[in-house]
Amino acid sequence: MGNSQWYSYLLYVLMPAICVYGHPDPNPMINPKCENPNNITFYSYHIHILFWQQNNQSYTNAMQLKKEFIEAFDVNESADCNDLNSTHNENPPLCIVDFDYPEPACPFLTSEWAAFVPNDGSKNDIFAKTVPW
């Protein structure tokens, strides 16, 4: 492996670690040591659709899937989708939370769109409907 290939490989391996970031969770109900993982509550999920931003077919397929998702679940695409408090059980409704195009955003190395999926734990839970779809 030449030097340029080695540097490219190293960058590829390290880039996700460099890009990953998060926010502290002030929720006192969460044990930071995860000593009792049986009591963890998941309030929400994200569904991420990644696509190659420089590939027209990949982009077209991703946008078609987004259109079909919006239609299938009656998502208001223009609604404010603030999911910053979603880990604290203050969930917005099902919504499109991200659309990173034409430039990818960390931690992803490609463009993506994402749906915020609240988890209310009921039989009619939208998570149980969206994931199999």
Name residue, tokens 């915020």: 116
Residues (pLDDT < 70) of the chain are: 1-37, 39-40, 83-91, 121-124
| Count of residues making up the chain | 133
How much is the pLDDT for 54?
95
In angstroms, the CA 114 to CA 100 distance is: 9
How much is the pLDDT for 52?
95
Task: Evaluate the omega torsion of the peptide bond into residue 107 and state whether it is cis, within 30 degrees of 0.
Answer: yes
The three state secondary structure string of the chain is CCHHHHHHHHHHHHHHHHHCCCCCCCCCCCCCCCCCHHHCCCCEEEEEEEECCCCHHHHHHHHHHHHHHHHHCCCCCCCCCCCCCHHHCCCCCCEEEEEECCCCCCCCCCEEEEEEEECCCCCCCHHHHHCCC
List all residues 6 or more positions away from 80 whose beta carbon is below 8 Å from its beta carbon: 92
Whole-prediction pTM value? 0.67
Among candidates 48, 44, 52, 53, which has minimal Cα distance to 87?
Answer: 44
